[in-house]
Amino acid sequence: MAKILIIYYSESGNTAEMAQLIAEGVKMKEDVEVNVKDVSDARVEELLEVEGVIIGSPTYYGSMAAEIKKFIDESVKFHGKLEGKVGGAFSSSAQIGGGNETTIMDILKAHLIHGMIIQGSPKGDHYGPVAIGKPDERSRKLCIEYGYRIATLVSKISSLSQ
Q: Site residues (CB under 6 A) for ligand FMN?
A: 10-16, 58-62, 92-95, 98-99, 133
Backbone angles phi, psi at 23, to 5 degrees: -60, -40
Q: Shortest approach of ligand FMN to residue 87 CB, angstroms?
A: 20
H or E stretch at 142:
helix 137-160
Taking the complex as a whole, how short is the minimal distance between the CB of residue 127 and ligand FMN, in angstroms?
Answer: 16
| Burial class of residue 64 (count of CB atoms within 10 Å of its CB; 0-12, 13-18, 19+) | buried
Q: How far apart are CA 28 and CA 137, in angstroms?
A: 19
Residue nearest to ligand FMN (CB): 98
Strand partners, 6: 36, 54
Measured distance CA(27)–CA(24) in Å, rounded: 5
Query: In the complex with ligand FMN, which residue's Cβ is closer, 14 or 75?
Result: 14
Q: How far is the CB of 47 from ligand FMN (least distance, A)?
A: 22
Cβ nearer to ligand FMN, comparing 10 with 155: 10
Which CB atom, from 18 or from 108, has the smaller least distance to ligand FMN? 18
Instruction: Name which of 5 and 130 has its Cβ closer to ligand FMN.
Output: 130
Nearest Cα neighbor of 140 from 150, 155, 125, 127 is 125
Q: How far is the CB of 63 from ligand FMN (least distance, A)?
A: 8
Closer of 139 and 155 to ligand FMN (Cβ): 139
Q: Provide the 10 A C-beta neighbour count for residue 35.
A: 15
Output the smallest distance, CB 114 to ligand FMN, in A: 24
